[in-house]
C-alpha cells in the first residue's frame, strides 16, 4: 500500500539493487544476533496491557520485523518504508506483516496509541509521531551503530563514519517523549570476503553515489581475494513513553 500524497520528498528511497544486496546480507546471518536481541526485547515487553502490533519504522526488507513476529506468535506487524521495493520485501517477509510506502518524516498512517512496540533499526526517528502512535504500555526499541561499527571498511570503501557524539544526539532526540529503561551493546567480529563487503556497501547510502563496479573493485582491492576481520558494533536502547510536558 502506498500513502504518498503527491508531494515531493527530499529523501531518497532504496533502489531494487540496494534491497537485493540487503537481503543477501541478512541471509548471511551477519545481523542475526541483533535480530534475536530485538525480538527477545519485544517478546518480554509486549504485555497483555499493550496492543499486539509491532511497528517497524524504516523497515527495509522486513528482516527484523519478521524475526520479531516469529518470536511473538500473537503479534501482527506493520512495516513502513519510503521505498516501494522495500515494501514489497516487507509484505513477503512474514504472513503477519503488512507494508506501507510512506515518508517517516510526515504524519504516520497509524492510529494514535495503537502500537505495542516500535522498532527503529538504523532508521530515521520521528519521535513526535512515535510518541503519538505508541500505547502508554508499549516500548520503542532503537538500534544504532557505534563509532567502531564496520570501522575496518569505512575508509577504504568510502563509507560515512559514525559520529563520536552519537549517544548524545540520540539522548537529546528522545528526551522530550521517551525515557531509556535499558541499553546493551553488541560487539562481534566476522570474517568477510569480497562479495559480503560489496553487499554491505551496496545496501546503504554509499550506493547512491558510487557504481556497483566501483564498490566491487574497492572490495576486491581490500580483500585481495581473501577475507577481512570486520567489527559489528551496535547499541540497542529500550525506551518507554513519558507524558508530554504541558
Q: With residue 61 as reference, give the H or E element that holds it.
A: none
Is 149 known to sit in a ligand binding site? yes
Is 190 known to sit in a ligand binding site? no
Is 11 known to sit in a ligand binding site? no
Per-residue three-class SS string for the chain:
CECCCCCCCCCCCCCHHHHHHHHHHHHCCCCHHHHHHHHHHHHHHCCCCCCCEEEEECCCCCHHHHHHHHHCCCCEEEEEECCHHHHHHHHHHCCCEEEEECCCCCCCCCCCCCEEEEEEECCCCCHHHHHHHEEEEEEEEEEEECCCCCHHHHCCCCCCCCCCCHHHHHHHHHCCCEEEEEEEEEEEEEEEEHHHHHHHHHCCHHHHCCCHHHHHHHHHHHHCCCEEEEEEEEEEEEEEECCCCC
Is 209 known to sit in a ligand binding site? no
Please report, in range form, the residues annotated as the binding site for S-adenosyl-L-methionine: 31, 61-62, 149
Q: Per the annotation, where are the binding residues?
A: 31, 61-62, 149
Amino acid at each position: 500500500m502506498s500513502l504518498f500524497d503527491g508531494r515531493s520528498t527530499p529523501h531518497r528511497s532504496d533502489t531494487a539493487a540496494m534491497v537485493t544486496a540487503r537481503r543477501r546480507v541478512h541471509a548471511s546471518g551477519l545481523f542475526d544476533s541483533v535480530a534475536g536481541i530485538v525480538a527477545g526485547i519485544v517478546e518480554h515487553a509486549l504485555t497483555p496491557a499493550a496492543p499486539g502490533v509491532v511497528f517497524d519504522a524504516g523497515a527495509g526488507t522486513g528482516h527484523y520485523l519478521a524475526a520479531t513476529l516469529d518470536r511473538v506468535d500473537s503479534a501482527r506487524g506493520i512495516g513502513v518504508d519510503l521505498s516501494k521495493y522495500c515494501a514489497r520485501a516487507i509484505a513477503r517477509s512474514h504472513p503477519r506483516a503488512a507494508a506501507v510506502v510512506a515518508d517517516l518524516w510526515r504524519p504516520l498512517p497509524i492510529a494514535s496509541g495503537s502500537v505495542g512496540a516500535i522498532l527503529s533499526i538504523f532508521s530515521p526517528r520521528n519521535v513526535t509521531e512515535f510518541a503519538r502512535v505508541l500505547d502508554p504500555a508499549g516500548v520503542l526499541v532503537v538500534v544504532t551503530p557505534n563509532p567502531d561499527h564496520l570501522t575496518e571498511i569505512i575508509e577504504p570503501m568510502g563509507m560515512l563514519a559514525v559520529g563520536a557524539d552519537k549517544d548524545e544526539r540520540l539522548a537529546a532526540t528522545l528526551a522530550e517523549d521517551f525515557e531509556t529503561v535499558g541499553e546493551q551493546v553488541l560487539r562481534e567480529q566476522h570474517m568477510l570476503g569480497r562479495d559480503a563487503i560489496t553487499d554491505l556497501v551496496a545496501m546503504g547510502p554509499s550506493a547512491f553515489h558510487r557504481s556497483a563496479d566501483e564498490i566491487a573493485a574497492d572490495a576486491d582491492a581490500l580483500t585481495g581475494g581473501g577475507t577481512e576481520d570486520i567489527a559489528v558494533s551496535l547499541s540497542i536502547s529500550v525506551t518507554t513513553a513519558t507524558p508530554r510536558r504541558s
